[in-house]
Homo-oligomer: A and B are copies of this chain.
Amino acid sequence: REGEGVDRQAAEEFIRLYHAENPAAGSGRPRVRDVLAEIDRTGMYTHTPGELAFGARVAWRNSSRCIGRLYWRSLRIRDRRHVDTADGIVDECVEHLRVAGNRGRIRPTITVFAPDRPGKPAARIRNDQLIRYAGHRQPDGSVVGDPVNAELTDRARALGWQPSGGRFEVLPLLIDVKGVTELRTVPEEVVMEVPITHPHYPWFADLGLRWHAVPAISNMCLEIGGLCYPTAPFNGWYMGTEIGARNLADADRYDQLPLIARRLGMDTSNDRTLWRDHALVELNVAVLHSYAEAGVTMTDHHTEARRFMTHLEKEERSGRVCPADWSWIVPPLSGALTPVFHRYYDDVRLTPAFAHHTPVAAPTGDRT
C-alpha cells in the first residue's frame, strides 16, 4: 500500500458503519464528504477518537478466531497515535501491561500507535506478543525455553542481547523504526507471572513451570476504514487451554506431557492407556488452579464456550453475522464437550479487522 494512499471505498464504508451503529454521532454524510476530500488532497485521513475506539472494538468483534468476544464493547482504548519512537513505544507498552494487568484483575485493552502513511510506514513490533519466553538453541540442536521463539531469540542476540539462558526468560522487544531494528528490555516489575502448581500433586511445583498473566498480541495490524495501524498491541485474559493444552503441552513447545505422565505413574509405552490425554487434563487443572491462587483472571474452556454461545445469540438478535472459524473456536481440549463444537459458523472476513500483514514463513498447510 506504500505511497498509494488510502482506499476511498474502505474509508467511506467504515464511516457509514460508525454512524449507523452510533446514532448519537448524527448523520455520516458531512463526515464522509470531509474524509474523502482529505484523502483526495493528502492520500490520508485521521480517525476521530470515537471512530478509533469503535473501529478497534469492531475489529475484535470481527475476529473470527476469537472465542472471547462476548465483551467486545468493553475494550479499553489507549490512543497513542502521536507516539512513534522506539522509546516512546516501549514506555507505552510497559504502561499497557501495567494498566491491563491491573494487579491480576485483567482488563481487555488496546494501545494504538501511529498508523502507516502513504510512503511512510509506521513503526512495528516484531515480537508476536509483548511478553514471550526466549528459546535458547543448544549445541545439540535442542532448545531451552520456548522453541517457537528460537528465531526471535537468535535475532535479539544478533542485535546484542545477552540472555542468561533460562527456561522462562522474557525476551526484549524488537522494534522496527525507520528501517532500523531497535532492542528494548521490558522491565521485570511489569511482567506478572504465575508459578504452576497442582491442587492435589505437590510434586507438580518441582516441574518449575510458570507462565505470564497478560497475553498481549503485538504483531497484528489493526485495519480500520482503509487505514492500517501496524502497532496496536491488544490483550484479553487467558483461557486455560492456551497455556495448558498448547504452550506447555505441544511437542514442539514445552512438551511437558511425557514428564507429567511419568510422574503420575502412567504407562507411557502404550497409546491406548491415554496417558497423554490424562496428563493433559492434570496440566490444565494445574494451570486453572494456579491462576486462581495467584488472583489472576483466567477462564476455563467450558465457561468461555458458553459465553461465546451467548455472544452468537446477541449478535444474531442485533441482525449481524458473527464470523467464526470452527477450527480456532473449538478448544484444543475435549472439543466435543463444549457447545461450540456442535454447529457450524459463517466465516466471512469483515472489517475493521486484526490482520497478519507480514506472514511468517511456515511450511505449506501449517495451521498458524
Contacts and interface: CB of A to CB of B under 8 A. Distances in A.
A184 interface: no
A174 interface: no
Contacts of A246: 336
A366 B284 CA distance: 29
Nearest to A343: B365
* A interface secondary structure, majority: helix
A285 B302 contact: no
Interface stretch (A215-223, A229-237, A324-332): A324-332
Interface stretch (A49-57, A84-92, A270-278): A270-278
Interface string A325-368: 01100111111110001111100000000000000000001110
**Residue in A250, A273, A333, A366 with the greatest tally of chain B CB atoms within 10 Å:** A333
A343 B366 contact: yes
A70 interface: no
Contacts of A276: 302, 334, 337
A292 interface: yes
A75 interface: no
A333 to B, nearest CB: 6
B330 A333 contact: no
Given A274-B281, A333-B336, A344 B326 contact: no
Given A300-B274, A343-B367, A344-B367, A335 B332 contact: yes
B337 A335 contact: no
Interface of A: 245-246, 249-250, 257, 271-274, 276-278, 280-281, 284-285, 288-289, 292, 300, 302-303, 326-327, 330-337, 341-345, 365-367
Given A245-B336, A271-B300, 18 more contacts: A246-B336, A249-B337, A257-B337, A271-B303, A272-B288, A277-B281, A277-B334, A278-B285, A281-B281, A326-B326, A326-B327, A327-B327, A327-B330, A327-B344, A333-B335, A335-B335, A342-B366, A344-B367
